[in-house]
Structure 1
Amino acid sequence: MRNTLNFQPDTFQQEQNPNSEANNMVGSTLPRRALGRLLRELRKTSQKSQLSAGLAIDMSPPSINRLEAGQRVKISTPQFSALLDLYAASADQRAQVLALVEETKATKGDPKGGWWRAYSDVVGSHFDHYMGLEEVCNRFTAFQLTLLPGLLQTPEYRRSMIVTNDPDMSGVDIERRIELATRRQARIQEGDTFLVDVLLSESVLRHQIGGPAVMSDQLIHLTEVGQMSNVSIRVVPHSVGSYLGLIAQSFILLEFPPLRDRGLIEPPVIFIEEWEGALFLEEDKAIQRHRNAVADIRRVALDEDASRQLLVGFAKEYSA
């Protein structure tokens, strides 16, 4: 069983103080991530610890960690300047950092965060950070062993999973979670600016979530979405034997476009959701292992046409 870690430099779960959100720097995710990575590189080059950085600007080491991870942190421009002094940043490095600070502020949008924050009381504590990434990624690659990713779930499929996970959830909260899922799915309509590549184990088709009628509708929905130019849905049949996906298990690979006006490209993130938490992996080795897994899964998966035929066959079987 995979161990779930809540907070480490390359594997972290977002921590938030809801009472301070209005004062936080809440710029778009990509500039914040680029800024955090640059500050982390400068700190390491100067051989300073997160503790010494925090002491220099009256900030805790966990806050420095969140800043370097591209998460929202309350910090002023003078504090950034003090960090750059501590790191002995060059004039060019200083200019790049301060330009990213200004870009982050200029694109901050809603001071309370993304639209999904309205649903924060009915989702997991990691969800805000995940949605910040999903909203700005331009390529979404998922491999699922047992359940469909949220971007492809019909309302009734989603409803069945919510009730299974929390039978005592109120009807109002169930509907709010379904509404959240529906709003997320609007990104699929963006066309080639948002590419969706979904790889499914045959087990996903065989588990009768919500019963035969729900599954029939769900699989018909998959065949329709799969015909969109920016969406690829492929199935790995049980007959293929062993492959890396069985070892890697379910995961999502999020990739990002170049940062506006700067050409910087933020590294991908692997998202792994579990019952008791979630992992956000950014380490190069972890990304490459999962890329290798994706390549091997694609090797054994049916092509899109054959996958569509399989989906139609299961849908007819469930509707019979």
Structure 2
Amino acid sequence: MVGSTIPRRAFGRFLRGLREQAGATLLTAGLQIETSKQTVMRLEDGLATKVSTPQLKELLDLYKVGPQVRAEALELWEEVRQQAKAAKAQGIAKGWWQAYADQYAPHFNHYLRLEEVTNHLTTHQLVLVHGLVQTPKYRRAIIKETHPSMSAVNVERRLELAARRQERLRDNDFRLDVMLSEAVLRHQPGGPPAMIEQLRHLATIGESDNVSIRVIPHSVGMYRGLATLSFSLLEFPDLARHLAEPPVVYTEGSEGALYLEQRDTITRFKDAISEIQRVALSEKDSREFISKIAKEYAT
């Protein structure tokens, strides 16, 4: 997981806990190491900074941590630094997606970082197929509808970005659980030809060991997902020692997105997932359902 931001984010959260336990403000911490409070905030948010090891030691002095916590903090810090060096050496310090930064909204940059390192993504979609399982024709139709004046070059770059994201599906340590409202299968970006291809792709990729595609048919009536709306839950692998990266729920609208991390919020979404899965068709029945609709489009 070279280049991952997850250990850095976990370390930042650990450091924030020490500061808050000590009752120190961001301003006080910044003054202690002769930098701005914004830099300390970036450090605690798991973002890259120019904070040095001597400066980190000064922060630990300010927080009055014990010898054991200090040693652990410095050891973790060294792991984060070594990982950053390895990522820089491989040319992936900023993430491969940065080459396409002009092709997505600013808020999506953080999502791509999380998607790159999650080991379990569960998504519920009411309107469109999730990007990780979209076909090029389907994606192209969405791009042309939402950005009708976009140049052919930029359309192709967006398709390249989508293809790069989908490389995660080749990772056997990554699992994708997709729950689709029947409405997703009935909407027709690109018309019947594009939908036939898209639905066949869903039926095929759903047979992969690490991918699950399940459909909630209209016949179910009201179900929890209609109130929860579309969302994605990203979970992360366990880290060394007691550090952990908590799950994140991502919800997106036409004008922005939300990243939800509060424990009670995550619990509510996990409960919603359980309820949605309870009424969804099985994977086998979903494949048959999807194939049936594809045949309808072909006639």
Contact kept? 1:27, 1:104, Cα under 8 Å:
no
Query: In the superposition, relative to structure 1, how do residues 303 and 51 fare at CA in structure 2: closer, same or farther (>3 Å)?
Result: same
Q: CA deviation at 1:94?
A: 1.6
Partner SS state of residue 259, structure 2: strand
Displacement of 1:105: 1.7
Which of 176, 183, 189 pairs up with 2:170?
Answer: 189
Tell me the equivalent position of 2:73.
97
Aligned match of 1:312 in 256, 272, 291? 291
Q: Give the corresponding residue for 2:244.
A: 265
Deviation at 1:103, TM superposition (A): 1.1
Q: What SS does the aligned partner of 1:135 have?
A: helix
Q: Aligned residues, how many? A: 293
- C-alpha contact (below 8 Å) 2:118/2:237 kept by paired residues: yes
1:29-69 per-residue CA deviation (whole Å, 9 max, x = no partner) reads 12101111101111111112223222322333343333222
- Which residue is equivalent to 2:122? 141
The answer for the alignment partner of 1:23 in structure 2 is: none
In 1, the alpha carbon distance for the partners of 2:37 and 2:27 equals 5
Q: Which residue does 1:165 correspond to in 2?
A: 146
SS at match of 1:293: helix
Q: Secondary structure at the match of 2:123?
A: strand
For the Cα contact (< 8 Å) 2:103–2:158, is it kept in 1?
A: yes
Please tell me whether the aligned partners of residues 234 and 304 of structure 1 are also in contact (alpha carbons under 8 angstroms): yes
Give the TM-score taking structure 2 as reference length: 0.93
Q: 1:111 to 1:185 in 2, by over 3 A?
A: closer
How far 1:28 moved relative to its partner?
2.4
User: CA distance change for structure 1 residues 231 and 209 in 2, over 3 Å: closer, same or farther?
Assistant: same
Which of 222, 242, 247 is equivalent to 2:222? Answer: 242
Match of 1:302 among 275, 281, 291: 281
Any unmatched runs of 5+ in structure 1?
1-25
Q: How far is the alpha carbon of 1:90 from its aligned partner? A: 1.6
Could you tell me which amino acid in structure 2 is paired with residue 199 of structure 1?
M
CA–CA distance in structure 1, aligned partners of residues 159 and 61 of structure 2: 49
Tell whether the 8 Å contact from 2:9 to 2:47 is kept in structure 1 after alignment. Answer: yes
What is the rounded CA distance, in whole Å, between the counterparts of 1:276 and 1:162 in structure 2?
Answer: 16
Cα offsets for 1:171-226 (capped at 9, x unmatched): 111100101111111111112x0011011111100101111110010000001100
> RMSD in angstroms over aligned alpha carbons?
1.6
TM-score (normalizing by structure 1)? 0.87
The corresponding residue for 2:25 is: 49
SS of residue in 2 equivalent to 1:254: strand
- Pick the aligned partner of 1:256 from 230, 236, 241: 236
More moved, 212-221 vs 97-106: 97-106
Indicate conservation of the 8 Å contact 2:124/2:232, yes or no.
yes
**Aligned mates of 2:196, 2:170 — CA distance in 1:** 23
Once the two structures are overlaid, the 10-residue window that deviates more, 89-98 or 51-60, is: 51-60
Over the matched positions of the two proteins, sequence identity in percent amounts to 52
Letter aligned with residue 162 of structure 2: A
Give the drift of 1:263: 6.1
Corresponding position of 1:212: 192
Amino acid at match of 1:163: K
Match of 1:10 in 2: none
Task: Name the residue aligned to 1:228.
Answer: 208
Residue of structure 2 in register with 1:3 after alignment: none
Measured in 2, the distance between the counterparts of 1:75 and 1:285 equals 33
Paired residue secondary structure (1:141) = strand
Equivalent residue letter for 2:214: R
For the 8 Å contact 1:57–1:82, the answer to whether it is kept is: yes
1:83 and 2:59 are equivalent in the alignment:
yes
Higher relative contact order (CA 8 A, sep 6+): 1
Alpha-carbon contact 1:139-1:254 (below 8 Å) kept: yes
1:27 Cα deviation after fit: 5.1
Q: Which runs of 5+ in 2 are unaligned?
A: none
Residue 108 of structure 2: aligned partner: 127
Task: Report the 3-state secondary structure (helix = DSSP H, G, I; strand = E; otherwise coil) of the residue aligned with 1:312.
Answer: helix
Question: AA paired with 2:202?
Answer: L
Other-structure match for 2:265: 286
Structure with greater proportional helix content:
2
